[in-house]
Amino acid sequence: MNAFSAMIALAHAGFVLAREGVFNAISGDELPLPARAGLRIASLVARDRKGSTKQSERLSKALNRLGPSWVKLGQFLATRPDVVGNQMALDLELLQDRMDAFPTAEAKSAVEESLGRPINEMFASFSEPVAAASIAQVHKATLTSNPQKTVAVKVIRPGVRKRFLRDLDVFYFAARIQERFIPAARRLRPVSVVDVLAQSARLEMDLRLEAAAFSEMHENTAEDEGFRVPNVDWERTGRDVVTMDWVEGTKLTKVLEMDRQGLDKKQLAVTLIQSFLRHTLRDGFFHADMHPGNLFFEADGTIVAVDLGIAGRLGKKERLFLAEILYGFIKRDYMRVAQVHFDAGYVPLHHDVASFAQAIRAIGEPIHGQSAETVSMAKLLTLLFEVTELFDMQTQPQLLLLQKTMVVVEGVARKLDPKFNMWAASEPVVAQWIARKLGPVGKLQDAKDGIDAIVRLVGLVPEFVERTERLGKEIDALSQNGIRLDAPTIEAIGKAEAQHSRSGRLALIVIAIAAVIAAASL
């Protein structure tokens, strides 16, 4: 897609967002005059000019109108409150990923093409779609080899990859415009944000990778009580299709059904939180999209999680960091919480640990004066990340994904039990993990890891010496010959820079004209 096409597509997206009233909630008090004028035009274009519809509903409707790529963008930005702000992130978290289903005949064709076998050789029955989202849809089927076996078949949406790549050009174009013309946006590195979105979506569009995530979590949770994920049928899984056990449970949103079955909702809430923390701390691998639509409960109270297109990973350092923070707040040891930030290298050493501990105490102490059911761990982490900005702590994307997921999981738990005690439920898992990690067994494991690292380093010494010698020769040659740019290279650089500036100015003009025309057409 060329620059002009990207401008038109971006202007169209802006019009759709304005038409649905997405910009109505934005205050223009602190914005420059051109931006305030743009918001005024957007308010005139909006169908719901009084803003009576909820912001999250307006946003959901607009993104669904723009298509699967924009829905995926919204879901991704829900994980980045540092980019869009806390309120917008919460609104995006409520985004309902529901798209119109595509024909079953196309789904069957995609399955046959991906697996290289006729559909009737694999499945005795293949239903109409039972659920449809931005990336794929799900069908209920039975196996030819075992007609009594019911499975869920998730099939990629036709053309979604091509559509996403086209829309990705628009996202990159908008990000570059922001970095060039909006100085305040540069620290958020919008182009890098789109880079992460592109990589995340590409992974999600290869269903073999989602199958691998299910397989890994299935192994991790094999011995866990009260939580599981479906098992994958690898024989009937490919890039465009993943087949797994059918879940007969009921969605966690159906609270009345839980009451009818006599399930203990308070215990379900505890199981959900403890399972999530266990996956995060013990395994370093967690389901990062645990909203109620992706969670089912079975008759015996077991929670089953589906849709693992988004998963999070934490390394050993991040896991220890999380556990120490939670345990420090539980025990009111604020110096410990502060020190772990410095030990992890997240806060620059020129800051004072005691001053940082004082700032953390300002967050923790009010919590201990409230009843447990009114204290939100997710809110605590949000406040903590806000305080760390004052101490130059750089954004940690893996921790933001964790924060977002914890907000969702805690919200689900509180719907099951409005008086849910987050701290009481969390302490056994966190304390056990810290005791194991910092106890004798953990020390031995750390020692083993250290020895293994030294052995690997020793093995790299010959290669390191060779590279050092080669680098020395290259530096010596550089010092003698210098760096030269020929005339054609200099001329090409100048032309590229001039073209980039013209494209940026033209983009702003086209977008502004599109908005004015849209307003005038009403």
Q: Among 102-106, 189-193, 306-310, which range has the highest average pLDDT?
A: 102-106
pLDDT of residue 511: 46
Task: Record the pTM.
Answer: 0.71
The count of residues in the chain is 522
* Region for residue 348 given its phi and psi (left: phi exceeds 0; alpha: psi -120 to 50; beta: otherwise): beta
Q: State which amino acid sits at residue 103.
A: P
**pLDDT (0 to 100) of residue 126:** 97
Q: How many CB atoms lie within 10 A of CB 314?
A: 21
pLDDT of residue 241: 96
Confidence check: pLDDT of 500 > 80: no
- CB of 305 closer than 8 Å to CB of 294: yes
Active site residue 446: no
Q: What is the mean pLDDT of residues 251-261?
A: 84
Tell me the C-alpha distance between 230 and 70, whole Å. Answer: 29
Q: What is the mean pLDDT of residues 245-259?
A: 86
Q: Are strands 295-297 and 303-305 parallel, antiparallel or unpaired?
A: antiparallel
CA 356 to chain centre: 29
CA dist., res. 59 & res. 43, Å (int): 14
Handedness of CA 48, 50, 54, 60 (dihedral sign): positive
Per DSSP, the three-state class of 519 is: helix
Q: Which helix (H) or strand (E) holds 362?
A: helix 353-368
How far is residue 277's CA from residue 100's CA, in Å, rounded to a whole number? 35
Say whether 321 sits in a helix, a strand or coil.
helix
Confidence label for 280 from pLDDT (cuts 50, 70 and 90): very high
Residues 433, 439: Cα–Cα separation, whole Å: 10
Write the burial class of residue 425 (CB in 10 Å: 0-12 exposed, 13-18 middle, 19+ buried). buried
Query: Looking at per-residue confidence, does 444 or 20 come out higher?
Result: 20
154-178 mean pLDDT: 87
Structure letter (DSSP) for residue 100: P
Residue 273 CB neighbour total at 10 angstroms = 23
Q: Is the confidence at residue 157, as pLDDT, over 80?
A: yes
Distance in angstroms (rounded) separating the CA atoms of residues 115 and 359:
57
Pick the more confident residue, 138 or 425. 138
Q: What is the pLDDT of residues 180-226, one digit of tens each?
A: 877 766 666 788 878 877 877 887 889 999 999 999 999 999 999 99
CB 173 within 8 A of CB 3: yes
Kindly state the average pLDDT of the residues 516-521.
Answer: 41
Map out the domains of the chain as residue ranges: 1-96, 98-246, 249-438, 441-494
* pLDDT on residue 377: 65
3-state SS, one letter per residue, for 174-198: HHHHHHHHCHHHHHHCHHHHHHHHH
Q: Which of 195, 289, 446, 452 is catalytic?
A: 289
Q: Compute how many other C-beta atoms are within 10 angstroms of the C-beta atom of residue 40.
A: 12
Quote the radius of gyration of the chain (alpha carbons, Å): 26
Mean pLDDT for the stretch of residues 352-372: 80
Does residue 493 carry a pLDDT above 70? no
* Residue 132, Cβ density class (10 Å: 0-12 exposed, 13-18 middle, ≥19 buried): middle
pLDDT per position as a tens digit, 52-84: 666 667 777 888 888 878 887 887 777 666 666
Query: 107: Cβ–Cβ under 8 A, 6 or more apart, which residues?
Result: 126, 129, 137, 139, 153, 155
What stretches of 202-324 adopt beta strand conformation (E)? 227-228, 241-245, 250-251, 285-287, 295-297, 303-305, 311-313
3-state secondary structure of 220: helix
What pLDDT score does 137 carry?
93
Determine phi and psi for 130, rounding to 5 degrees.
Answer: -105, -15
Asked whether the beta carbons of 505 and 27 are under 8 A apart, the reply is no
Structure-model confidence comparison of residues 367 and 303, the more confident one: 303
pLDDT of residue 510: 44
- Which tokens belong to 206? 């290869």
Q: Are 196 and 79 in contact (CB under 8 A)?
A: no
At 224-239, the pLDDT tens digits run 999 999 999 999 999 9
- pLDDT tens across 128-137, in order? 999 888 889 9
Q: What is the pLDDT of residue 512?
A: 45
Model pLDDT, residue 113:
95
Instruction: State residue 392's pLDDT score.
Output: 74
Mean pLDDT of 407-433: 85
CA distance 403 to 401: 5
Strand segments, DSSP code E, in 274-323 are 285-287, 295-297, 303-305, 311-313
**CA 401/CA 89 separation, integer angstroms:** 12
Contact 181, 504 (CB under 8 A): yes
Q: Where does the pLDDT of residue 481 fall: very low under 50, low under 70, confident under 90, or very high at 90 and above?
A: low
